[in-house]
Amino acid sequence: MPATAAGRESRIELRATREEKRLLAAAAAHERLDLTGFIMRNVLPAAREVTDRAERIVLSERDTARVLELLENPPEPTPALLAAARRRAART
């Protein structure tokens, strides 16, 4: 559910040239929005897309099959992994 202007409590400072501010204000007026609403409506989808791209791992079909195979049939732990597990257990 999008936040309304009344529900927004955090502030963001934005520096812009006079021309940039004039252009943003004009665009907001054409859309019958205030400046905050116009900026948020246009910037939030881009922010979601960037975050989604950065946080999601997309595997090829081959890599997906390999991950599933390893989950179903995990390899035996290596000596280094066993040693690391022992060190960790000793710390807790």
pLDDT value of position 74: 96
Asked, for residue 19, whether it belongs to a domain, the answer is yes
Residue 24 within a domain: yes
Residue 2 lies in a domain: no
Count CB-CB contacts under 10 A for residue 39: 16
Looking at residue 92, its pLDDT comes to 83
Q: What is the DSSP letter of 14?
A: -
Place of tokens 């246009």: 42
CA distances from 87 to 3, 51, 70, 79, 90 (A): 47, 35, 25, 12, 5
Residue corresponding to tokens 């040693």: 83
* One domain, residues 49 and 68: no
Point out the residues of the chain with pLDDT beneath 50: 1
Number of domains comprising the chain:
2
Q: Domain range for residue 26?
A: 12-55
Same domain, 39 and 17: yes
pLDDT recorded at residue 77: 96
Residues 16 and 51 placed together within one structural domain of the fold = yes
